[in-house]
Amino acid sequence: MARIYADNVVFLMRPGETARRRVERAPDRRSPPSNDTAVACHATSANASLGYSHTVAPRPAVDSGTRQQTGANARRAPLRWVLLLAAACVLPVAVCTWRAVAHQASLQHYATATGEQRKLPLPGGGTALLDTDTAVSTPAGQGRELRLEHGRAQFDLKPALSQPFAVHAGDGVVSAAGGRFQVSRLAHEVRVVALAGTVSVNLPASNEQVTLRPGQQVDYGYGRLGGTQPADLAAARGWPRGELVFYRRNLAELVAAMNRYSDTRLVIGDDALRNLPVSGVFDAGDPAGLAQALQRSRLLRAVRVAPDEIVLQPAAR
């Protein structure tokens, strides 16, 4: 005879005895087994001859509410990870957006309309003259810096020993401790003209830098810094007075410059006229006067096709 104790206790049942009676006879698992409560199991086939059969005590039934709660927890586990992953993805975007909005809120924006010029005082002394169709932004504090969004501006600075004034335009930084200089940002190209004092032009991305002296200019764009060239001082000094000064420059440049100052547009009707050299001093914002002056040269004729459009055509032969 062998004694067996396990989670699933094997009992010997008499014929006709129910499972309930068998469970009631089951020994208490919480207490160590004793000789009185131990059930002997014969390893020989004599048990069968006596009419005994083997059965396994059933495990306690699991409550349906417990099953539902376990299933709900299993379903909530993946959802919890999905929510945590979504939060991890959204949080950096939200932080960057908040920083961008906060940065924009800390800037002061200034702009000029078509044909308008405007003078702004600069922190630390000096002024900035904004040309037509120009936009700039400056920090709300007393920082000595400014960003030229587009257009053209002239900066007159008082000497400052503590910190130079910096103009951010495109992918470059223009800085000077004093003097006068101009920065223009038209399309994707930036031009810097030094009129008084030295001016430093730096491209941080390519680590290129050049220092301009009075009467010099440099162009940069697309991450590349051009070479130093003599500046067209007559043209640089003309536009702050409202004059377009041209000397043997092509007609296409003159038309583009004039169109920035007026809602009445000049249109070149024949591509053969685009490279026509032109010299003269013209009033900015007076496209009709420019058309008449060009027509008197007998090199072309001006035709007004609409109240706000004048077409330049080759002169009739």
Domain ranges of the chain: 2-56, 109-234, 242-314
Q: Using DSSP, state whether 185 is helix, strand or coil.
A: strand
Longest dimension (CA), the chain: 137
Query: Residue-wise over 229-255: b if at least 16 C-beta within 10 A, else e?
Result: eebeeebbbbbbeeebbbeebebeebb
* Per-residue tens of pLDDT for the chain, all 317 residues: 444 444 444 444 455 544 444 444 444 444 444 444 444 334 344 444 444 444 444 555 545 555 555 555 555 557 666 667 766 776 655 544 444 434 444 689 999 999 999 999 988 789 999 999 999 999 876 678 999 999 999 999 988 757 899 999 999 999 999 999 999 998 889 999 999 999 999 999 999 999 999 999 999 998 899 999 999 999 999 999 999 999 999 999 999 999 999 999 999 999 999 999 999 999 999 999 999 999 998 889 999 999 999 999 998 76
Distance between CA atoms of residues 79 and 75, nearest Å: 7
Count of residues making up the chain: 317
Q: Are 313 and 270 in contact (CB under 8 A)?
A: yes
Write down the pLDDT at residue 46: 41
User: What CATH code is assigned to 242-314?
Assistant: 3.55.50.30
Q: Which of 212, 142, 135, 207 is nearest to 169 (CA)?
A: 135
CATH class of segment(s) 109-234? mainly beta
Residues in contact with 197: Cβ distance below 8 Å, sequence separation at least 6, in sequence order: 157, 176, 177, 178, 179, 180, 181, 214
pLDDT in tens, 182-221: 999 988 899 999 999 999 999 999 999 999 999 999 999 9
Task: Report residue 277 as tokens.
Answer: 């050299």
CA distance linking residue 185 with residue 221, whole number of Å: 10
* Gyration radius (Cα) of the chain, Å: 45
The domains spanning 109-234 and 242-314 adopt the same CATH topology: no
CA distances from 16 to 13, 72, 74, 83 (A): 8, 43, 43, 58
Query: Phi and psi for 167 in degrees, rounded to 5?
Result: -120, 120
